[in-house]
Structure 1
Amino acid sequence: MKPENIQLLAPLFQILGKNEVKEVGRLSGFIQRERSFSAAQFLHFLFLKKSEIISDSLETLCTDLAEQDIFMTKSALNKRFDERAVTFLDDYSKRSFNSPSPS
């Protein structure tokens, strides 16, 4: 992830730290081994793309990821959007809302 984009995630990771995001990714089954596309990067990508992610083609999404120095095939990206991704986002949301506010 490019350093200038890490600042965009600062508020997101104030709620749950990167290590906690990684843990949620592992516990949900979303992350099974270290890859070039981490749970934190997945969140970052979703938040940057917002509603565009629904209408953009896989090719466009892969191009957008490549601009973030994350290189994936259309097939690999398509496989990431599965039940484990939904479980990860659900678990992340629940932990975020149950977390005490940062001081």
Structure 2
Amino acid sequence: MSEEDQDGERWLVIDGRRWRRTDPSLPGEIVDALTSHLGRARSAVASARRAGDDQAVADARRRVGLAKHGLGERGPYWWDEAEADRLARAEAALRELEN
């Protein structure tokens, strides 16, 4: 695979800013669950900010981070890790978010 093809698989460019893509090796049901948690956590950040609740903002941001780590969008580059390690990280993030 060419370097340009790899970059297209790894990064998404929006308005000139590069964002890491979700790990393509993750099962769809895990991606769907983590994406759902991510959306709810982002909404919770906005609600907590409007309410001026700093602790709730921090808690919601932690949940955003967990979901993004699970999806491979933050933390170690998913393409540098073994697939089993990536799946284990996603499953661990999902377990923590569901508690």
Determine if the TM-score, normalized by the shorter chain, exceeds 0.5. Answer: no
Based on CA coordinates, which of the two structures has the bigger radius of gyration? 2
Please state which structure has a larger fraction of its residues in strand.
Answer: 2
Greater RCO between the two (CA within 8 Å, min separation 6)? Answer: 1
TM-score by length of 1: 0.27
